[in-house]
A = this chain, B = another copy of it.
Amino acid sequence: MVIRYPNGKFYTPEKNNLKKKQNKDYSYSNRGKTLEDEINETNEYYLQRGTAVIHKKPVPIQVVKVEYPSRSAAVIKEAYYRTASTTDFNGVWQGLHIDFEAKETQNKTSFPLKNIHAHQIDHMMMVHKQKGITFLLVRFSTINRYFLLPYGPLKNAWDTMCQGGRKSIPLEEFETHAFEIAPGAFPSIDYLKAVTKMLAATTA
């Protein structure tokens, strides 16, 4: 369809398209929301209903200089982002410790492992040893599919890479070893449903 402005000129959409591309994920269903936004909304939904208490951890920031203007709040004037030593989300659900990392990729056929840091895998390994429930939540943004990949297959793929093998996890691997999450409205990403499936599969 050709859109004409009242002045009769053709509408040139280039500029607008550029903006959309910068927005990264502008498919119909997630409407420009980041995966983090979607998980935060889901966690808020869980919290309000008394389902679970899971929060995103604040980003660690090294504060260098703080000013205290009279009668107002302290203002941080110099600070730097630090690398997180753990995963992004954790909390408790029905007596279970939940601990996970969330990542999105534009890639349609595989998840590049460069998105994960070694210290995050180390952290997940330690949580797993302590009998915490730990996993990776991945959004393939372009094809709008969400997966909960358990620690086991993630660790296998990581070890393979470290031994000089494949640097990404193919989509088929997710279809086989991960638990797919159908995006919804309330909550947007009902990942605890996938955790339930994962636990059932582990104990079966």
Interface set of A (CB-CB < 8 Å, partner B): 47, 50, 52-53, 55, 57-61, 63, 73-81, 84-86, 90-97, 99, 123, 126-127, 129-132
Apart from the given pairs A75-B78, A76-B81, A90-B90, 7 other A-B contacts in the complex at a CB distance below 8 Å = A47-B126, A50-B129, A57-B58, A59-B61, A61-B76, A94-B130, A97-B132
Are B92 and A53 in contact, with the CB atoms below 8 A?
no
Contact B92 A81 (CB under 8 A): no
Q: How far is the CB of A196 from chain B (nearest CB, A)?
A: 15
Q: A79 contacts which chain B residues (CB < 8 A)? A: 61, 75-76, 79
CB closest chain-B residue, reference A73:
B80
With both chains docked as a complex, state the minimum distance between the C-beta of A150 and any C-beta of chain B, in angstroms.
Answer: 16
Q: Which residues of B contact A93 (CB under 8 A)?
A: 130
Which residue of chain B has its CB nearest to the CB of A99? B92
Bound-complex Cα distance A180 to B93 (A): 29
Distance in angstroms between the alpha carbons of A185 and B91 in the assembled complex: 30
